[in-house]
């Protein structure tokens, strides 16, 4: 036998590195140890297992050719030894040994290594609130928990559920509980929007409306303060504002890198608890690598370190580690945080920085918000999606991209393309000329991605000036502000009419685009004009014309009515224009 | 009024440039002239108009807010003058004048310009064969032709049709005729495969099988030699091999840039007939720009000039021209030839160079062919798609990417992402680490794009050796060659059994992967081994193990059975394993 390779952690980065290094060094002695009895599973599939979309947990740990990835599989097919239910207690770096203990028998063992990989993953954060350990409180940390939750539901023990946390896992779990089991589900999020810091407010609000439309009670800006129990079982969740009865609590408020064994061994660990690695994913000990949720990597846009707890990232990192272990110097440059999520009939995703984060990071950040068709607008079945491009005005670099859309791959197409552009440090101009494949069943002659770049270019050149959606909502919601502004609705009259009737012409002034050249002198000159159409593009054209005609106090409402009706609003009266499923 | 801008051509690049330059220079006097009466239409939508998916031709020339883009629209909404049915006869560059003639009245006019754009598009190639001008022979050149074809069909005058040309338009038209009108359709292609030079043979064969499965008679390697007529009407098409009765002929054998007026004016025109422009899309006269199908642009992979007759390209170029006309220096670097096509329930697409073209261009080109799931393999509704990555072994640069898949956006996602990577001159290593957004409803933890990069990496390192699909098919089809090789089928026994029964163990030897370590000595040592599984990945793992075990005369069949069953083959017996709709 050749080199002795030990890998602590058998979920994603660990098995990937093990199998790859075994292919590179066929005579190596590769051993994976994991404290759990179930290994190498698709953790991101857990919500779909709980929902019932995936009927058997074995499917989550099977190959595409239907072999379960268990000890037999790794031994016979991959030539990799696996020790399950085996916890790594400590690493003796001097002797190059891992000391382990069997979780059932208590048996201790010593594993010699030449090279070691720490792929210990992460643990879910547990809120330090009363009742957090009650029967019926779960985190989504491993397959056992998922099996237990599904078992409880299948036995009819769950009529009501509360999900704490409006991040990706919380939202996926809320859908799983509601959609396929009909459980009355509430979702509680401490921040005042869903997917905080990942998705900006307008698009997060579209998601929020969609969850509400699908019968999830969404409570934002409310922290869970207590889990009320009875006889040790959860019966309710108390927030600062209300008490929500429940039989089940899913706590999905984030993760923490699991770096105890690394820290104990004296390896460098960051303040946030992530193992520090170089570009080759080496820890501060050159014979020890680390990968997956337990490390921090470089964010290729902000340049900062971050923890990227994605199975996809873990697999990529695992491969890089294997190459380095086998003497093929390979670097992992970092990530851009590509993210996509299904929520009922909606897709939502992002990559890079949100506008909020980009501003906080000190960029001269601005955004283009658009609402184009996801394929040729004349092609049957086309749907609107909402896209936001975040860019730096000074350097013209792309900083991020995000969107919501119907449940198909149209959004994912643009997120992935933007991800490649972000990895390549693209500018607005490169983004605007990216050559997306065009055919009416798949896209538009001017792809939404390119169009987002065009808008950014117009904003940078101050040819276009816009009002953020937040500001527009604040104005609409407060009648005391109404005297200063005026919405100029440039759509067809039958489209503007319901809103004109609701608000009156002093607030909502109709002037169709094709009558603008003749009638623009009718527009009051003493008010700031909010230029309004369905998607924002006609509003921009009118802005250019009005600038030329001496009306310079104007702002386009980016994304227009397409965005607003998907966001919903208390100030928008019920009616056909507000009766909308994504 | 400011600058006088004249634009010859009113379909895609022309109107885009006109509207953009009018926004940049609001006081400019912008005039678009076109010899046709219908302008600014989505030409790529013609097949869907003929099929009936798009019911009215007006939809192809309407905006997303349902306004027809006619003279009124351009005047009132865009501030652009349009002169339809007006042909540009010549350009007097000294006087800066365009001389035109009205197509109906014969009235001549002179248009003064400060800056001129030539966006005259392309004309379909008409084969120089007898009968090419008969009644019932059409090219897909403009909306009038499309209206005439649909009219003929709707009147019940077309029972049979022949499409000449197996490129994108030919295939789309064949589908339109067959699928929605039930017309018996034959497709004749001179090359021995569909989409020659764009798609390599294995994937083109998948398309071919799919067209046949959808009742299109596909005749490859047959040139149309005569259009047989009776009383001036088409009645049949004669190829070198057969006579096909027909009521309608669609000739779709390519396009030629329309550069007559440019050439006559003494502007530089290439040998292929395309107008020569610089990166700012200026012709050899600095006051004259050209854009769209009539120019040649730089191919960003090969570095050569090419004509890219795509509406999407024309729009991008039109915008660049407008910027330059308005004094904003802007470059159009070139294209990578992104391409996507719907054919019944199949999507097929490519970007960059095909393997065949890359080799012809002198690259050290190689390919990775894979057949992964289009989303997590455990997610309901996942489907297999087939992907080919073309790369240069010496420089490790990505040269091209292509694929076939089910009719959703999964393929388009990867084509577009690869397009961005090609624009950024990505290497295999960058491609392998591109961060595609992962969630089970949208993709796999190891995205097919990354996996294609992994395979390329293994091929470059000679860790993987493969046999081209063409060679494998030649071997299977010729029993006289069978003694030298042996297929080693490493799948489950119930999967390999039908093929073992058909061919016998001397040709098709079953040995499941998980029994390999114990039983590999049973494998005959005197034969070249073709390693065979469903997708190619297990075959690769076995190759690594056999290399180590002293069996080095092996080759992986890339893409495996997933590709073969989609390609179909005369040597594959009918049965469940060959009974497959995409």
pLDDT per residue as tens digits for the range B283-321? 999 999 999 999 999 999 999 999 999 999 999 999 999
Mean pLDDT within B154-180:
96
Which residue in the set A77, A168, A447 is minimally distant from B312, CB to CB? A447
Is a pLDDT exceeding 50 seen at residue A557? yes
Which residue in the set A65, A78, A342 is minimally distant from B439, CB to CB? A342
Taking an 8 Å cut-off on Cβ atoms, the answer to whether B435 and A544 are in contact is: no
Multiple choice CATH, B469-578, 3.40.50.40, 3.40.250.10, 2.40.420.20, 2.30.30.100: 3.40.250.10
Taking an 8 Å cut-off on Cβ atoms, the answer to whether B377 and A48 are in contact is: no
CA distance to partner chain A, nearest, from residue B121 (Å): 16
- Residues of A with a known catalytic role: 44
Query: Which CATH number is associated with domain B339-366+378-460?
Result: 3.50.50.60
Mean pLDDT within A161-168:
98
Window 410-439 of B: residues touching A by CB (8 A cutoff) are: 410, 412-417, 419-421, 423-424, 426, 429-430, 432-439
Give the separation between CA B443 and CA B377, rounded to whole angstroms.
Answer: 9
Condensed to tens digits (0 to 9), the pLDDT of residues A336-360 reads 999 999 999 999 999 999 999 999 9
Angle B16-B18-B20 from CA coordinates, rounded to 5°: 70
pLDDT given for residue A574 in this prediction: 60
Which residue in the set A48, A77, A315 is minimally distant from B445, CB to CB? A315
Is a pLDDT exceeding 80 seen at residue A271? yes
Which residue in the set A409, A439, A446 is minimally distant from B442, CB to CB? A409
Is a pLDDT exceeding 90 seen at residue A1? no
Task: Report the top-level CATH class of B4-42+52-122+256-325.
Answer: alpha beta
- Which of A33-47, A413-427, B562-576 is predicted with the least confidence, judged by mean pLDDT? B562-576
pLDDT given for residue B578 in this prediction: 45
Taking an 8 Å cut-off on Cβ atoms, the answer to whether A454 and B319 are in contact is: yes
Residues 6 or more apart from B563 whose CB is under 8 A from it? B202, B206, B369, B371, B386, B469
pLDDT given for residue A141 in this prediction: 84
Taking an 8 Å cut-off on Cβ atoms, the answer to whether A53 and B379 are in contact is: yes
Read off the pLDDT band of B482 (50, 70, 90): confident
Helices first, then strands: H and E counts in chain B: 18, 30
Name the residue of chain A whose CA is nearest to B379's CA. Answer: A54
Give chain A's mean pLDDT: 95
Side-chain half-sphere CA neighbours of A545 within 13 A: 23
- The residue assigned the tokens 């294995």 is B202
pLDDT given for residue A315 in this prediction: 96
Taking an 8 Å cut-off on Cβ atoms, the answer to whether A435 and B424 are in contact is: no
Mean pLDDT within A380-384:
95
Q: Which CATH superfamily is domain A4-41+52-122+256-325 in?
A: FAD/NAD(P)-binding domain (3.50.50.60)
pLDDT given for residue A571 in this prediction: 87
Is a pLDDT exceeding 80 seen at residue A580? no
Is a pLDDT exceeding 50 seen at residue B579? no
Residues 6 or more apart from A521 whose CB is under 8 A from it? none
CA distance to partner chain B, nearest, from residue A240 (Å): 33
Name the residue of chain A whose CA is nearest to B62's CA. Answer: A378
Window 482-521 of B: residues touching A by CB (8 A cutoff) are: 491-492, 513-515, 517
Residues in chain B with CB shorter than 8 Å from the CB of A547 are 26
Residues in chain B with CB shorter than 8 Å from the CB of A550 are none
- Residues of B with a known catalytic role: 44
Residues in chain B with CB shorter than 8 Å from the CB of A337 are 435
Give chain B's mean pLDDT: 95
CA distance to partner chain B, nearest, from residue A334 (Å): 9
Which residue in the set A64, A340, A415 is minimally distant from B373, CB to CB? A64
Is a pLDDT exceeding 70 seen at residue B515? yes
The tokens for A497 are: 């009419």
Condensed to tens digits (0 to 9), the pLDDT of residues B421-439 reads 999 999 999 999 999 999 9
Window 74-113 of A: residues touching B by CB (8 A cutoff) are: 76-79
Handedness of CA B147, B149, B105, B260 (dihedral sign): positive
Mean pLDDT within B110-131:
98
Taking an 8 Å cut-off on Cβ atoms, the answer to whether B412 and A312 are in contact is: no
Residue A511 Rama label (left phi>0; alpha psi -120 to 50; beta): beta
User: Domain coordinates of chain B in residue numbers?
Assistant: 4-42+52-122+256-325, 137-253, 339-366+378-460, 469-578
Residues β-bridged to residue B412 = none
Question: By the 8 A CB rule, do A396 and A427 touch?
Answer: yes
Is a pLDDT exceeding 70 seen at residue A581? no
Residues in chain A with CB shorter than 8 Å from the CB of B59 are 378
Question: By the 8 A CB rule, do B3 and B115 touch?
Answer: yes
Taking an 8 Å cut-off on Cβ atoms, the answer to whether B515 and A376 are in contact is: no
pLDDT given for residue B574 in this prediction: 60
CATH architecture of B137-253: 3-Layer(bba) Sandwich (3.50)
Taking an 8 Å cut-off on Cβ atoms, the answer to whether B64 and A413 are in contact is: no
Taking an 8 Å cut-off on Cβ atoms, the answer to whether B312 and A79 are in contact is: no
pTM for this model (two decimals)? 0.96
Residues in chain B with CB shorter than 8 Å from the CB of A437 are 338-340, 349, 351, 412, 415-416, 419
Residues 6 or more apart from A412 whose CB is under 8 A from it? A340, A347, A349, B409, B413, B437, B442, B443
Residues in chain B with CB shorter than 8 Å from the CB of A442 are 340, 342, 347, 409, 412
Q: Which residues of A408-438 are buried (b: 16+ CB within 10 A; e: fewer)?
A: bbbbbbbbbbbbbbbbbebbbbbbbbbbbbb
Condensed to tens digits (0 to 9), the pLDDT of residues A48-107 reads 999 999 999 999 999 988 899 999 999 999 999 999 999 999 999 999 999 999 999 999
CA distance to partner chain A, nearest, from residue B444 (Å): 8
- Largest Cα–Cα distance of chain A, in whole Å? 89
What CA–CA distances, in Å, run from A370 to A384, A400, B190? Answer: 10, 14, 45
Give the separation between CA A466 and CA A462, rounded to whole angstroms.
Answer: 10
Name the residue of chain A whose CA is nearest to B63's CA. Answer: A377
Give the separation between CA B67 and CA B78, rounded to whole angstroms.
Answer: 12
Read off the pLDDT band of A455 (50, 70, 90): very high
Alpha helices in A162-310 (DSSP H): 168-181, 201-213, 260-264
Residues 6 or more apart from A69 whose CB is under 8 A from it? A15, A39, A40, A41, A61, A62, A63
Instruction: Tally the residues of chain A.
Output: 582
Is a pLDDT exceeding 80 seen at residue B252? yes
Name the residue of chain A whose CA is nearest to B425's CA. Answer: A424
Taking an 8 Å cut-off on Cβ atoms, the answer to whether B440 and A379 are in contact is: no
Q: Does A166 touch chain B (CB under 8 A)?
A: no
Give the mutation candidate from B20, B417, B541 for the A interface (greatest A CB count, under 10 A): B417
- The DSSP line for B48-90 is HHHHTSS--HHHHTB-TTS-B-SHHHIIIII--EEETTEEEEE
Taking an 8 Å cut-off on Cβ atoms, the answer to whether B454 and A409 are in contact is: no
What CA–CA distances, in Å, run from A197 to A171, A356, B513? Answer: 15, 7, 46
Counting one residue from chain A and one from chain B, the pairs whose CB atoms sit within 8 A come to 299
Residues in chain A with CB shorter than 8 Å from the CB of B26 are 544-545, 547-548
Residues in chain A with CB shorter than 8 Å from the CB of B70 are none
The tokens for B25 are: 């220079």
Is a pLDDT exceeding 70 seen at residue B458? yes
Which residue in the set B312, B447, B491 is minimally distant from A445, CB to CB? B312
Give the separation between CA A385 and CA A267, rounded to whole angstroms.
Answer: 46
Strand A115-118 and strand A4-8: the pairing is: parallel
How big is chain A by its Cα radius of gyration, in Å? 27
Taking an 8 Å cut-off on Cβ atoms, the answer to whether A419 and B417 are in contact is: yes
Name the residue of chain B whose CA is nearest to A445's CA. Answer: B312
pLDDT given for residue A578 in this prediction: 46
* Residue B131: CB atoms within 10 Å: 21
Is a pLDDT exceeding 80 seen at residue A14? yes
Taking an 8 Å cut-off on Cβ atoms, the answer to whether A433 and B380 are in contact is: no
Condensed to tens digits (0 to 9), the pLDDT of residues A200-241 reads 999 999 999 999 999 999 999 999 999 999 999 999 999 999
Q: Where would I find the beta strands (DSSP E) of A262-413?
A: 275-276, 288-290, 295-298, 305-306, 339-343, 346-352, 365-370, 386-392, 398-406
Domains B4-42+52-122+256-325 and B339-366+378-460 share a fold: yes
CA distance to partner chain B, nearest, from residue A22 (Å): 9
Condensed to tens digits (0 to 9), the pLDDT of residues A503-524 reads 999 999 999 999 999 999 999 9
pLDDT given for residue B575 in this prediction: 55
Query: Which CATH number is associated with domain A339-460?
Result: 3.50.50.60
Taking an 8 Å cut-off on Cβ atoms, the answer to whether A437 and B492 are in contact is: no
CA distance to partner chain B, nearest, from residue A576 (Å): 17
Give the separation between CA B245 and CA A238, rounded to whole angstroms.
Answer: 78
Q: Does A379 touch chain B (CB under 8 A)?
A: yes
Q: At what angle do helices A448-460 and A410-423 cross, to 10 degrees?
A: 50
Q: Does B268 touch chain A (CB under 8 A)?
A: no
CA distance to partner chain B, nearest, from residue A178 (Å): 18
Q: Which residues of A192-218 are buried (b: 16+ CB within 10 A; e: fewer)?
A: ebbbbebbbbbbbbbbbbbbeebebbb
Give the mutation candidate from B74, B77, B279 for the A interface (greatest A CB count, under 10 A): B77
CA distance to partner chain B, nearest, from residue A551 (Å): 14
Q: How far is CA B171 from the centre of its chain?
A: 10
């Amino acid at each position: 036998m050749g080199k002795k390779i030990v890998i602590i952690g058998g979920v994603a980065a660990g098995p990937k590195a093990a199998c790859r290094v075994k292919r590179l060094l066929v005579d190596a002695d590769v051993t994976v140890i994991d404290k759990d009895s179930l290994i190498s599973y698709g953790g991101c599939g857990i919500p779909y297992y709980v929902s019932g979309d995936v009927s058997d947990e074995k499917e989550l740990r099977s190959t595409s050719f239907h072999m379960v990835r268990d000890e037999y599989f790794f031994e016979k097919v991959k030539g990799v030894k696996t020790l399950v239910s085996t916890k790594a207690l400590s690493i003796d770096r001097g002797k190059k040994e891992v000391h382990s203990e069997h979780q059932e028998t208590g048996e201790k063992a010593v594993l010699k290594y030449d090279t070691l990989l720490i792929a210990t993953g992460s643990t879910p954060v547990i809120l330090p609130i009363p009742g957090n350990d009650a029967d019926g409180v779960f985190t989504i940390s491993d397959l056992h928990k998922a099996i237990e939750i599904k078992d409880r539901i299948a036995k009819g023990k769950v009529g009501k559920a509360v999900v704490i946390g409006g991040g990706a896992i919380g939202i996926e779990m809320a859908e799983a509980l509601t959609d396929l089991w009909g459980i009355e589900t509430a979702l509680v999020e401490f921040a005042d929007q869903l997917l905080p810091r990942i998705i900006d407010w307008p698009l997060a609000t579209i998601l929020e409306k969609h969850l509400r439309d699908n019968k999830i009670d969404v409570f934002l800006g409310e922290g869970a303060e207590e889990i009320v129990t009875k006889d040790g079982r959860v019966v309710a969740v108390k927030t600062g504002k209300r008490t929500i009865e429940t039989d089940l609590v899913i706590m999905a408020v984030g993760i923490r890198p699991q770096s105890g064994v690394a820290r104990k061994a004296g390896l460098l660990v960051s303040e946030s608890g992530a193992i520090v690695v170089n570009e080759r994913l080496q820890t501060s000990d050159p014979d020890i690598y680390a990968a997956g949720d337990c490390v921090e990597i470089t964010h290729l846009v902000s340049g900062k370190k971050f923890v990227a707890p994605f199975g996809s990232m873990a697999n990529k990192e695992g491969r890089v580690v294997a190459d380095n272990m086998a003497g093929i110097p390979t670097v992992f440059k970092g990530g851009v945080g590509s993210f996509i999520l299904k929520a009922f009939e909606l897709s939502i995703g992002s990559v890079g920085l949100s506008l909020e984060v980009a501003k906080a990071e000190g960029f001269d950040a601005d955004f283009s918000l658009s609402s184009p068709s996801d394929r040729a607008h004349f092609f049957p079945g086309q749907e609107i999606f909402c896209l936001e491009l975040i860019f730096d005005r000074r350097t013209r670099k792309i900083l991020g991209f995000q969107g919501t859309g119907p449940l198909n791959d149209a959004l994912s197409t643009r997120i992935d393309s933007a991800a490649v552009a972000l990895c390549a440090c693209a500018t607005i101009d490169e983004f605007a000329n990216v050559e997306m494949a065009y055919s009416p069943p798949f896209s538009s002659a001017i792809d939404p991605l390119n169009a987002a770049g065009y808008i950014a270019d117009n904003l940078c050149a101050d040819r276009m000036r816009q009002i953020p959606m937040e500001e527009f909502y604040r104005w609409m919601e407060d009648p005391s502000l109404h005297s200063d502004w005026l919405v100029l609705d440039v759509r067809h009259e039958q489209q503007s009419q319901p809103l004109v009737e609701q608000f009156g012409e002093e607030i909502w002034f109709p002037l169709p685009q094709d009558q603008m050249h003749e009638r623009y002198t009718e527009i009051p000159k003493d008010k700031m004009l909010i230029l309004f159409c369905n998607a924002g593009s006609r509003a921009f054209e009118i802005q250019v014309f009005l600038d030329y005609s001496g009306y310079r106090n104007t702002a386009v409402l980016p994304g227009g009515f397409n965005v607003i009706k998907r966001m919903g609003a208390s100030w928008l009266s019920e009616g056909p224009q507000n009766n909308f499923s994504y």
